[in-house]
């Protein structure tokens, strides 16, 4: 991202995306953070300004690190396009997709760099890590607002997934 224009608002000027989760970089080029995250429900109202503030305070030697997660119905890491409908019915065929994201300042250019390292695992293997893992996932899936669950491709699977997770989460 590089600050541009009179307001010096950072916009996406370049990128390499090896493991997109149902989006593509071409649709983000030239966009600021709010526009990039326009498809994300509740982003503008809940975190947009905080992200802009964080970006303004970035330092090269202090990257911001965060994680993100979703449930996928296909094992491919490269998924630039969302399918038109659910790909599986059985919740044991789902995958958990986790991302380690970093954002850091680039002092020589005045820009910033965003990285995502993607990890994916069959949900059955992930839940087998233990009751605490299953319980946390159960809680996260259950409390997702419907619009966020839909965006994360979880809404269709939520009830079956919660039913399947319940015995592991006890």
Q: What is the pLDDT of residues 83-142, one digit of tens each?
A: 888 899 999 999 999 999 999 999 999 899 999 999 999 999 999 999 999 999 999 999
What is the pLDDT confidence band of residue 30, given thresholds at 50, 70 and 90?
very high
With a pLDDT cut of 70, the percent of the chain lying above it is 100
CA 97 vs CA 47, 94, 123, 125, 127: distances in Å: 22, 10, 9, 12, 13
pTM given for the model: 0.86
CA distance 8 to 5: 5
Domain residue ranges of the chain, discontinuous segments joined by +:
2-122
């Amino acid at each position: 991202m590089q600050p541009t224009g009179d307001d010096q608002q950072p916009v996406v000027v370049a990128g390499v995306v090896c493991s997109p989760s149902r989006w593509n970089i071409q649709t983000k080029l030239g966009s600021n953070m709010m526009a990039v995250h326009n498809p994300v429900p509740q982003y503008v109202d809940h975190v947009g300004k905080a992200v802009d503030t964080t970006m303004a305070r970035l330092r090269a030697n202090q990257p911001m690190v965060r994680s993100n997660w979703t449930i996928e119905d296909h094992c491919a890491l490269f998924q630039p396009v969302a399918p038109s409908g659910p790909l599986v019915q059985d919740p044991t065929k789902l995958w958990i997709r986790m991302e380690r994201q970093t954002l850091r300042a680039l002092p020589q250019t005045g820009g910033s760099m965003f990285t995502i390292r993607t990890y994916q695992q069959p949900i059955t293997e992930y839940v087998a890590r233990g009751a605490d893992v299953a319980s946390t996932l159960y809680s996260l899936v259950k409390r997702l607002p419907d619009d966020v669950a839909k965006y994360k491709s979880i809404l269709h699977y939520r009830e079956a997934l919660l039913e399947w997770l319940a015995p592991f989460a006890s």
